[in-house]
């Protein structure tokens, strides 16, 4: 029982808590997670896009810069290659002609020499004029490399990666244009040597410091790389991946590549854009998210616990109080401190319990009053007081006149009346038995000694107090109904005690009762016992005094006749009201 | 309650899933600007395994790229390393062309090469032409002696293989270990071939030579040049190209072709078995022996052409290097060397 109640309590609490917890989680943790996830996503996208845009912008700026310089190179080359004095001076041996060509070369390359060294070679690839240092004695094969390319692309400044042809230190790129005479014979070449240093100069000031970009030829081989790109190995990685057919970008690198073609030069610009939003940062943000979720979950748990106990405690107390009230304790009251719905409910319970108690008390009092009235009324029926004195007088008159039978009659009747008119409600068993004997004497005279009475009572029971006049009506009933037709009837009263219960058996050997009557008597259907007032009264008296388990029962004896048993508690003598 | 609990649970899960996908879908996609659209088609690729030095393969391959538009992927390394790799790959997921490596080495791996009939075979030197068509030669490297001009009086310069063994130069000779340096190995085999004609056995030649080295063995051919140029050793044995290059750089060295004769073992080019880009490989083979490439080799790279129509100064005292004989005595010689030097 106790355990069950505990379980019940637990279950109530848990159900409450569970529902509250789910509500809290739905309302707090999930929006937190969703909004955080979106925030991370948006943050990531925004940063990536911004970075992409920045890189794109840088590439665009770089492309514009390169194209501008190439355009300037192209124009200068066109002017130099078309100049008559240059054409005539390529193979000149005298100093004056050479100076004229040099003057022109320097004049035309004004402002460009910091981005490239200019050389004029003859048709055999032998350098004749050079603005740079260290390249005066260079001979380039005209059947190979850039010069061959320039020779086959008439009137065009061709660009070429200088890889594998290091005629000068740090040479990155070469450009060349063939020079033709009037007969359309190739008489020489204008060659531009662009070194790493030149590129550095070109980029200085126009490219953000630390930007890792590189210039690639059409086979994605590196022409020039800024320092950042070199350490990152952008060019090599990019080419390798393109060759193996892989996507250039790889998550694990945390570098994204942006590539842009430089006009129609066949060159490409590539930039290695480091991922600002790395896996690491993502992991960190997710970690924070997890922590926040954890804290919020914990908070939910705590609040759910507090709220559920706040809600379930009064409910539990209420249910406990109701159980007590059910078991009859109507004094139970609850302290209602709260002003909310639960407080009102508790107040209502208190009121209800109070009203129930008052109602119950009223009921008990009324019942008691009714019982007392009934007993008084029943006893009053047998109380004609003056008859006793009359009978006593009659007895003495009969004695004086020697009418013995009348004396006996009057004496018996007097005994009966004395007992019945006395104020005592309780008499001893022996007094009651004397009354019965008196009654039987009278009846024996009346019925000409047609029956006899035997009484067997243990001595220790004789002083037991019983309600008066409970045995006489039974005997009367036996005499009047049971032995009415008999010539030699016999009434036997047997009294004994068993298990603190006193049994008073009144048996006769008369005609017995029909089963219907016995059923009615044992059923105690009082409305139908109108004609048997004696039985009814005795039964009622016993029950009212002693309770429902005591009373009167009737049965037919197998030898014939009826046996009526009175069952009453064997109480100590002197029991009071 | 039970049912509702499950419902709520699945709803929760759905939310989480949704949130996670939201994060995942926001992770940056590989950019289209990554340059993938510039990647070459499969038929525009050639994979070249090379044992050449960078200064040789780089201009040749770059020129090949520019002329054909083919992207060349280069895998470089030592001759034995690359050949070992080819044997290991055995035609599976391998390269297209083996570029470089002595033809004696290549011959040992004939099983891993495709047969190819060179279209320009009639202008190539017949003595360095593989009759099986497994490889074609690319350039040849004569073995030469070098000496430090400051230390060696020109009249006392060693001019023959025999002189190296007579004890006068004991401890003054620089030579690379033949098991690591290909040219050193060729030099030793040449010495053996030459001196066997003079009546010496292989064992005698090696024993005597190692004795004259007096324990000084250079780890590689570059060290030989450095040792002689710096004066650590007086004379050295190396190849013509390395010697010329060092001299062009300004080292005070001189070069001698041994009087008994010197060999000019060619390096070769071969198409690797089951190569993925056969057509490009053939183009490359033809390109390596084209007139312009060979001219470039002679004029710009200090190499000897294998073409007969290229004008180049003749190699003094060149002997026919017996490839078969060399292949036979090679391992024996190396074993002997190892035994003598204790390496």
Distance in Å, alpha carbon of A21 to nearest chain B alpha carbon:
11
Please tell me the pTM assigned to this model: 0.64
Share of chain A above pLDDT 70, in %: 90
Distance from CA of B129 to the nearest CA of A (A): 26
Residue A339 predicted with pLDDT over 60: yes
Cα distance between residue B257 and residue B12, in whole Å = 88
8 Å CB contact between A504 and A570: no
**Which CATH superfamily includes the segment(s) B141-263+322-341?**
Periplasmic binding protein-like II (3.40.190.10)
- C-alpha distance from B27 to closest chain A C-alpha (Å): 7
Confidence tier at A388 by pLDDT (50, 70, 90): confident
Q: A50-54, A82-86, A188-192, A262-266: lowest mean pLDDT where?
A: A50-54
Residues of B within 8 A of A270 (CB-CB) are 35
CA A75/CA A66 separation, integer angstroms:
14
> Is A551 a member of any domain?
yes
Q: Do A268 and B35 touch (CB under 8 A)?
A: yes
What pLDDT digit, counting tens, does each position of A189-218 carry? 999 999 888 888 888 877 666 667 889 998
Mean pLDDT of B280-290: 94
Q: Say if the Cβ atoms of A259 and B299 lie within 8 Å.
A: no
Q: Is there a domain that residue A33 lies in?
A: no
Query: CA of B64, closest CA in chain A: separation in Å?
Result: 10
Q: Which two tokens stand for residue B109?
A: 């791996």
Give the burial class of A359: count Cβ atoms within 10 A of its Cβ; 0-12 exposed, 13-18 middle, 19 or more buried.
exposed
Q: Which residue has the tokens 């880009």?
A: B277
Q: Do B33 and A277 touch (CB under 8 A)?
A: no
* Averaged pLDDT, B129-157: 88
User: Which of these three, A244, A265, A294, is where a domain ends?
Assistant: A244
* Domain end among A244, A265, A298: A244
Please list every residue in chain A whose beta carbon sits closer than 8 Å to the beta carbon of residue B25.
41
Average of per-residue pLDDT across A432-440: 88
Q: Which of A244, A92, A298 lies closest to B276, judged by CA?
A: A244
- Among chain B residues, the shortest Cα distance to A152 is held by B67
Instruction: Name the residue of chain A whose CA is nearest to B32's CA.
Output: A258
Whether the pLDDT of residue A380 is over 70: the answer is no
Residue A383 belongs to a domain: no
Q: Report the gap between the CA of B71 and the closest CA in chain A (Å).
A: 6
- Asked if B63 lies within 8 A of A164 by C-beta distance, the reply is yes
Q: Which of A229, A310, A217 has the alpha carbon at shortest distance from A261? A: A217
For residue A40, the chain B residues in CB contact (below 8 A) are 23, 26
Mean pLDDT score, B130-149: 90
Contact A18 B5 (CB under 8 A): yes
CATH code of residue A477: 3.30.565.10
Nearest CB to A243; choose among B12, B28, B73: B73
Is A58 within the bounds of a domain? no
Nearest residue of chain B to residue A283 (CA atoms): B23
Annotated domain spans of chain B: 44-140+266-305, 141-263+322-341
Flag whether A523 is in a domain: yes
**pLDDT band with cut points at 50, 70 and 90 for residue B24:** low
Domain count, chain A: 2
- Nearest chain B residue (CA) to A273: B34
Domain B44-140+266-305 sits in CATH at 3.40.190.10
When pLDDT is averaged across residues A286-307 and rounded to a whole number, the result is 87
A257 shares contact with chain B (CB less than 8 Å): yes
Q: For residue B30, name the pLDDT band (cuts at 50, 70, 90).
A: very low
CA distance A536 to A477: 12
Q: Assess whether pLDDT exceeds 80 at residue A89.
A: yes
CATH of the domain at A234: 3.30.450.20
Sheet holding A255-262, edge to edge: A222-225, A213-216, A267-274, A255-262
Report pLDDT for B23.
Answer: 57
Residue A532's nearest CA partner among A546, A547, A521, A519 is A521
CA–CA distance, A154 with A379 (Å, rounded to integer): 155
- Assign B28 to helix, strand or coil: coil
Q: Which residues of B touch A34 (CB under 8 A)?
A: 15, 18-19, 22
Are B125 and B137 within 8 A, CB to CB?
yes
Which of B34, B61, B292 lies nearest to residue A259, judging by beta carbons? B34
Is A138 part of a structural domain of the chain? yes
Check A144 against B62: CB less than 8 A apart. Answer: no
C-beta neighbour count of B195 within 10 angstroms: 22
Average the pLDDT over B246-271 and give the result.
89
User: Which residue, A229, A244, A259, sits at the end of a domain?
Assistant: A244
ipTM of the complex: 0.79
Measured in angstroms, the CA of B195 and the nearest CA of chain A are apart by 40
Query: How far is Cα A153 from Cα B150, in angstroms, rounded to an integer?
Result: 50
Closest CA of chain B from A341, distance in Å = 24
The H or E element spanning position B255 is strand B253-256
Q: What is the pLDDT of residue A12?
A: 59
The answer, yes or no, to whether residue A483 has pLDDT greater than 70, is yes
- What pLDDT sits at residue A207? 67
Range of lowest pLDDT (A528-532, B40-44, B202-206): A528-532
Q: Which two tokens stand for residue A241?
A: 């991946």
Chain B residues touching A243 at Cβ < 8 A: 39-40, 45, 71, 73
Binary contact (A259, B60; C-beta < 8 A): no
Residue A119's domain comprises 71-244
A141 vs B contacts (CB less than 8 Å):
295-296, 299-300
Q: Which residues of B touch A242 (CB under 8 A)?
A: 35-36, 38-40, 71
A38–chain B Cβ distance below 8 A for any pair = yes
In a domain, A539, yes or no: yes
């Amino acid at each position: 029982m106790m355990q069950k109640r505990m379980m019940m309590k637990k279950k109530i609490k848990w159900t409450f808590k569970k529902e509250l917890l789910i509500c809290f989680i739905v309302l707090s943790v999930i929006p937190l997670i969703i909004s955080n996830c979106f925030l991370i996503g948006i943050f990531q996208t925004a940063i990536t896009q911004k970075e992409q845009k920045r890189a794109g912008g840088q590439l665009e700026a770089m492309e514009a810069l390169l194209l501008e310089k190439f355009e300037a190179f192209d124009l200068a080359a066109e002017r130099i290659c078309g100049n008559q004095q240059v054409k005539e001076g390529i193979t000149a041996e005298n100093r004056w002609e050479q100076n004229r060509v040099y003057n022109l070369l320097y004049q035309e390359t004004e402002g460009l020499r910091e981005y490239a060294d200019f050389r004029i070679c003859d048709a055999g690839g032998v350098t004749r004029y050079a603005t740079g240092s260290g390249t005066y004695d260079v001979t380039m094969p005209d059947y190979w490399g850039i010069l061959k390319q320039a020779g086959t692309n008439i009137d065009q400044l061709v660009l070429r990666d200088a890889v594998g042809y290091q005629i000068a230190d740090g040479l990155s790129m070469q450009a060349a244009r063939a020079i033709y005479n009037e007969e359309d014979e190739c008489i020489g070449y204008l060659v531009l040597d662009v070194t790493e240093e030149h590129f550095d100069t070109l980029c200085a000031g126009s490219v953000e410091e630390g930007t890792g970009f590189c210039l690639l030829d059409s086979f994605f081989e590196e022409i020039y790389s800024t320092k950042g790109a070199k350490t990152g190995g952008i060019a090599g990685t990019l080419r390798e991946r393109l060759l193996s057919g892989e996507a250039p970008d790889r998550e694990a690198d945390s570098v994204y590549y942006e590539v842009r073609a430089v006009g129609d030069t066949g060159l490409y610009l590539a930039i290695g854009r480091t991922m600002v939003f790395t896996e690491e940062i993502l992991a960190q943000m997710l970690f924070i998210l997890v922590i926040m979720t954890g804290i919020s979950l914990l908070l939910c748990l705590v609040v759910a616990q507090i709220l559920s106990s706040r809600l379930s405690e009064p409910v539990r107390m209420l249910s406990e109080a109701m159980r007590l009230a059910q078991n009859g304790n109507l004094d139970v009251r609850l302290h209602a401190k709260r002003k909310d719905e639960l407080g009102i409910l508790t107040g209502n319970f208190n009121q209800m319990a109070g009203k129930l108690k008052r109602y119950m008390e009223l009921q008990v009092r009324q019942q008691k009053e009714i019982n007392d009235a009934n007993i008084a009324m029943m006893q009053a029926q047998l109380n004609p007081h003056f008859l006793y004195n009359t009978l006593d007088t009659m007895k003495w008159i009969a004695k004086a006149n020697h009418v013995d039978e009348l004396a006996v009659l009057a004496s018996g009747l007097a005994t009966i009346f004395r007992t019945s008119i006395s104020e005592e409600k309780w008499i001893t068993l022996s007094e009651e038995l004397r009354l019965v004997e008196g009654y039987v004497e009278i009846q024996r005279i009346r019925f000409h000694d047609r029956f006899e009475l035997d009484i067997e009572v243990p001595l220790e029971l004789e002083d037991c107090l019983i309600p008066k006049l409970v045995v006489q009506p039974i005997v009367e009933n036996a005499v009047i109904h049971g032995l009415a037709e008999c010539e030699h009837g016999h009434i036997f009263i047997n009294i004994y005690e068993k298990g603190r219960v006193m049994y008073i058996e009144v048996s006769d050997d008369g005609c017995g009762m029909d089963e219907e009557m016995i059923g009615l008597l044992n059923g105690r259907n009082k409305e139908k016992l109108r004609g048997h007032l004696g039985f009814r009264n005795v039964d009622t008296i016993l029950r009212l005094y002693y309770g429902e388990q005591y009373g009167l029962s009737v049965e037919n004896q197998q030898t014939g006749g009826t046996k009526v048993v009175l069952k009453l508690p064997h109480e100590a003598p002197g029991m009071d009201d | 309650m039970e049912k509702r609990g499950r419902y709520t649970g699945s709803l929760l899960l759905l939310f989480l899933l949704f949130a996670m996908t939201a994060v995942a879908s926001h992770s940056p996609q590989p950019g289209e600007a990554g340059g993938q659209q510039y990647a070459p088609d499969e038929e525009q690729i050639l994979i070249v395994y090379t044992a050449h030095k960078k200064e040789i393969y780089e201009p040749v391959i770059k020129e090949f790229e520019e002329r054909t538009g083919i992207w060349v992927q280069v895998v470089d390394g030592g001759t034995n390393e690359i050949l070992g790799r080819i044997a290991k790959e055995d035609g599976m997921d391998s390269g297209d062309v083996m570029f470089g490596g002595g033809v004696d080495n290549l011959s040992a791996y004939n099983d891993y090469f495709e047969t190819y009939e060179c279209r320009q075979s009639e202008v190539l030197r017949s003595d360095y032409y593989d009759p099986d068509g497994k490889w074609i030669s690319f350039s040849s490297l004569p073995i030469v002696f070098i000496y430090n001009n400051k230390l060696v009086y020109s009249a006392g310069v060693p001019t023959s293989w025999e002189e190296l063994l007579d004890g006068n130069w004991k401890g003054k000779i620089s030579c690379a270990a033949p098991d690591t340096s290909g040219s050193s190995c060729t030099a030793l085999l040449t010495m053996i071939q030459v001196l066997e004609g003079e009546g010496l056995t292989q064992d005698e030649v090696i024993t005597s030579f190692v004795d004259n080295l007096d324990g000084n063995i250079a780890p590689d051919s570059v060290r030989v040049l450095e040792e002689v140029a710096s004066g650590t050793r007086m004379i050295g044995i190396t190849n013509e190209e390395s010697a010329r290059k060092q001299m062009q750089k300004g080292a005070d060295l001189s070069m001698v072709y041994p009087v008994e004769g010197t060999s000019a073992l060619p390096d070769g080019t071969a198409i690797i078995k089951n190569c993925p880009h056969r057509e490009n490989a053939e183009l490359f083979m033809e390109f390596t022996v084209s007139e312009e490439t060979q001219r470039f080799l002679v004029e710009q790279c200090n190499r000897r052409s294998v073409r007969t129509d290229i004008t180049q100064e003749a190699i003094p005292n060149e002997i026919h290097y017996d490839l078969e004989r060399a292949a036979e005595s090679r391992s024996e010689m190396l074993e002997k060397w190892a035994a003598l030097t204790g390496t």
